[in-house]
Amino acid sequence: MRIREASIFLLVTVFVVLFPPVRADADAPPISPKELIRESLLVPAQLDGAEVSLEAIVLRPKGDGPFPLAVMTVGPIDLKDRAVLSPLHFHYQAAEFARRGWAAVFFLRRGYGKSGGEADAWNKACSAENIAAMAKKTADEYEAVIRHFAGQPFVDKTQILAVGQGAAGASVVALAGNTVAGLRGVVNFGASGGSCPDAALLQSVEAAGRSAKVPALWLYAENDATMPPQRVKLFFDAYRQAGGKGELMVTKPFEQDGASLFFWRQGIALWREPVDMFLRQASLPTWSTPPEGPVMPDYPMPDDLTRLNKAPDWVEKATAAWASYFAAPPGKAFVIGVGFGFSAWSTIAAQATAEEAQKIALKKCDDAALKCRIVAVDDEMVGQ
């Protein structure tokens, strides 16, 4: 066991490295977000004998490529949110790879957003067989998306990475044991197995370790509510002892529950460095140096947002709304309205374009008969 320290980590424990730490030749400075192309699409897929479409976005650098391919998705979310989920909500996570020179695809699993088919149900019996079957279902979706994009001229089909959060993290660990042409590694953000007992989960990770063909990065926050470091170590040790290749890294605590590390833009500050380390060790491209500055802007809140109302609860809500705005995905606008002796705000995010977001946010404000002005569009302040 080796202990590796880095400035952003509370703890980085490297249990085994079974691939050479060779720096990728394609390293280059970070690509500006303004130099990325984003496309929304429905990916055709043949799954369980049925034709379905999986909603996705792809972010990639300008130019013909070919670019290495990163394919990612997340685990189950609340039933009430599944229909309204959009790949646009994960723009910044995909952009982290696109800015490294990758074609980055974020897709929604079956039954989420505009994706066809039925969503999975992790509330079945916690047998090792069922856990493996559920992981395979999403692994099949990854393979379908990989097959589609491997046929695109802008993709380098010899350099493919699969990234998953939660249950999708378990699925990419399973995917590492499949024979997937061009797959060079997988990244598991916080797979947990829910409330299933350790015995069944251990059987699953041991099976995954025995079949593993490519290295895996297991990435967790120290305050993950269901997977504290010692429990993660138990499973990773079983994976390694069964033959699995890769690393386990644990970051500093994130928010109230570290299981949300991949979900939020702020989390990028914690996982940027370990992902870089993993890519270099797997001889995959990344930037020569990471982008400078914070992962999201930290502009001061406009004075007129609270000038007419100094009540502590109002100031607290306004401050939270301002911070949440910059954490939200692009295609967004923040509007302040003043009138009738008070001020208010309206905001919208994850729209197809910034122009559409401005129209929606302004209309919400105008409908309240206030004097309205746009103060922010995407990550830029307006009128300053």
> For the segment 318-340, what is each residue's pLDDT rounded down to a tens digit?
999 999 999 999 999 999 998 88
Is residue 50 very low, low, confident or very high in pLDDT (cuts 50, 70, 90)?
A: very high
Locate CATH 3.40.50.1820 in the chain: 2-281
pLDDT at 101: 97
In this structure, are residues 157 and 183 in contact, taking their beta carbons and an 8 Å threshold? no
In this structure, the chain runs to a length of: 384
List, for residues 55-76, the tens digit of each pLDDT value: 999 999 999 999 999 999 998 7
The predicted model gives 264-288 an average pLDDT of: 96
pLDDT of res. 57: 97
Q: Does the structure show a pLDDT above 50 at 290? A: yes
Instruction: Report the distance separating Cα 97 and Cα 181, nearest Å.
Output: 20
Q: How confident is the model at residue 284 (pLDDT cuts 50, 70, 90)?
A: very high
pTM: 0.89
**Choice between 309 and 26, residue whose per-residue pLDDT is larger:** 309
CB-CB contact of 285 with 302 (8 Å): no
pLDDT of residue 15: 36
For residues 365-383, average pLDDT: 91
Return the pLDDT at 343.
84
Beta 103-107 vs 50-61: how paired, if at all? Answer: antiparallel
CATH of domain 2-281: 3.40.50.1820
Phi, psi of 265 (to 5 degrees): -55, -40
d(CA 235, CA 128): 14
Rounded CA-CA distance 185/63 in Å is: 25
pLDDT band at 384 (very low <50, low <70, confident <90, very high): low
* Alpha helix stretches (DSSP H) within the chain: 79-82, 91-98, 128-150, 167-175, 198-211, 229-241, 268-281, 312-327, 354-366
Do 82 and 73 form a contact (C-beta atoms < 8 A)? no
**CA-based torsion, 345, 348, 349, 354: positive or negative:** negative
Contacts of residue 311, defined as CB under 8 A and 6 or more positions apart, other chains included, come to: none
Secondary structure element (H or E) that encloses residue 348, with its range: strand 342-348
Q: Which residue has the tokens 């297991």?
A: 218
Query: Does position 97 have pLDDT exceeding 90, yes or no?
Result: yes
